[in-house]
Amino acid sequence: MKALILVGGYGTRLRPLTLSVPKPLVEFCNKPILLHQVEALVKAGVNHVILAVSYMSELLEREMRAQEERLGIRISLSHEKEPLGTAGPLALARELLTDNAEPFFVLNSDVICEFPFEDMLRFHKHHGKEGTIVVTKVEEPSKYGVVVYEAESGRIHRFVEKPQVFVSNKINAGMYIFSPSMLNRIQLRPTSIEKEIFPVMAQEGHLYAMELQGFWMDIGQPKDFLTGMCMYLQSLRQQGPEKLRTGPGFLGNVLVDPTAQIGENCTIGPNVTLGAGVVLEDGVRIKRCTVLKGARVRSHSWLESCIIGWSSSVGQWVRMENVTVLGEDVIVNDELYLNGANVLPHKSITDSVPEPRIIM
């Protein structure tokens, strides 16, 4: 079975992290974002993953070769020379997707959830039409495009963009399974699958909705990355609590790489992820943060809602909060206060940032 992942471009929404590492390789809860999806696909029986990319990265190619080996599957990169939207890449990969008659998965790359690929396949085969999209419940449907469908069968009636009166609280979760015949609907030109393809399929009775159980988050920007981390760790608490760190000094859900080092009198959590080789010195207070590989937080600092980039160093008695994101190899001097700072890679910060801003 095959899957196409819409990786897309430079991942600008997740800058400054994506200035150093292609978005699919940015670690989310100590695993590259892409691998969360790929591993779940493999578990559901997928043996060929096609990444639709609009820019080529040697780092990504090299990493995918390694993952092919590790997972024993095939990973292809399908490179679009011009942006093709969300449907065009399917046409570009047509030959790879149609060398057999099996249905294939299509995913947006920023989505994190308990991936229901086996359920999708079963549901799709059961209704027997061309497409199935996964939908998820949201609190404020007026901010999104919602899906109106038959509760019993899942057959989609229509899509409504930012509804002003309540029609549905289910939105497209960015995960699909299609039969190969669906590709006849798509031409090799920039096309939106959501706006141009799905409404037609729905009208013809060929599109079904399956409701997602559990959490769902688009982690394409730092604020949502952190929210998604909280959800993921909570789901880990239920699915695999042995992976979470507990004991004195740990509060709530905390994920710690075995090679991370933690000093004395720290209080960590809830909702913290510490990557490989991370060092927290004595007396650090950290909550709702991701600390990426090789970063160091020096003693007595206080961090909340931050992403600390690879190999960055945060000084002593630093306070950082409000979705402060440090790019790779950033140095924050002692005793500073960073409030919502977005710091580009390889910067040395010598002055406090009392109000949110970008540090070039």
* Residue tagged active-site, from 162, 170, 243, 347: 162
Closest listed residue to residue 91, CA positions, set 195, 198, 186, 3: 186
Stretch that binds another protein, among 24-32, 79-87, 145-153, 279-287 (CB under 8 A): 279-287
Q: Which phi and psi angles does 220 have, rounded to 5°?
A: -70, -10
Identify which of residues 130 and 321 has a Cβ nearer to another protein in the complex. 321
Q: CA–CA separation, 293 vs 75, rounded Å?
A: 25
162 is catalytic: yes
Minimum CB–partner distance for residue 34 and another protein (Å)? 35
Q: Which of 23, 206, 293, 300 binds another protein (CB under 8 A)?
A: 300
Identify which of residues 25 and 320 has a Cβ nearer to another protein in the complex. 320
Minimum CB–partner distance for residue 267 and another protein (Å)? 8
Note whether 299 binds another protein by CB under 8 A: yes
Stretch that binds another protein, among 5-13, 74-82, 93-101, 314-322 (CB under 8 A): 314-322
> x/- binding map, residues 237-276, to another protein, per CB under 8 A?
----------------------------x-----------
Identify which of residues 190 and 263 has a Cβ nearer to another protein in the complex. 263
Identify which of residues 217 and 303 has a Cβ nearer to another protein in the complex. 303
Q: CA–CA separation, 33 vs 210, rounded Å?
A: 23
Residues 140-179 that bind another protein (CB under 8 A): none
Residues 332-351 that bind another protein (CB under 8 A): 335, 337
SS (H, E, C) the chain: CEEEEEEECCCHHHCCHHHCCCHHHCEECCEEHHHHHHHHHHHCCCCEEEEEECCCCHHHHHHHHHHHHHHCCEEEEEECCCCCECCHHHHHCHHHHCCCCCCEEEEECCEEECCCHHHHHHHHHHHCCCEEEEEEECCCHHHCEEEEECCCCCEEEEEEECCCCCCCCEEEEEEEEECHHHHHHCCCCCECHHHHHHHHHHHCCCEEEEECCCCEEECCCHHHHHHHHHHHHHHHHHHCHHHCCCCCCECCCEEECCCCEECCCCEECCCEEECCCCEECCCCEEEEEEECCCCEECCCCEEEEEEECCCCEECCCCEEECCEEECCCCEECCCCEEECEEECCCCEECCCECCCEEEC
Identify which of residues 98 and 322 has a Cβ nearer to another protein in the complex. 322
Minimum CB–partner distance for residue 246 and another protein (Å)? 21
Identify which of residues 300 and 347 has a Cβ nearer to another protein in the complex. 300
Residues 315-334 that bind another protein (CB under 8 A): 316-317, 319, 321
Residues 53-72 that bind another protein (CB under 8 A): none
Size of interface with another protein, in residues (CB under 8 A): 15
Stretch that binds another protein, among 38-46, 138-146, 235-243, 280-288 (CB under 8 A): 280-288
Give catalytic residue positions.
162
Binding site for another protein (CB under 8 A): 265, 282-283, 285, 299-300, 302, 304, 316-317, 319, 321, 335, 337, 354
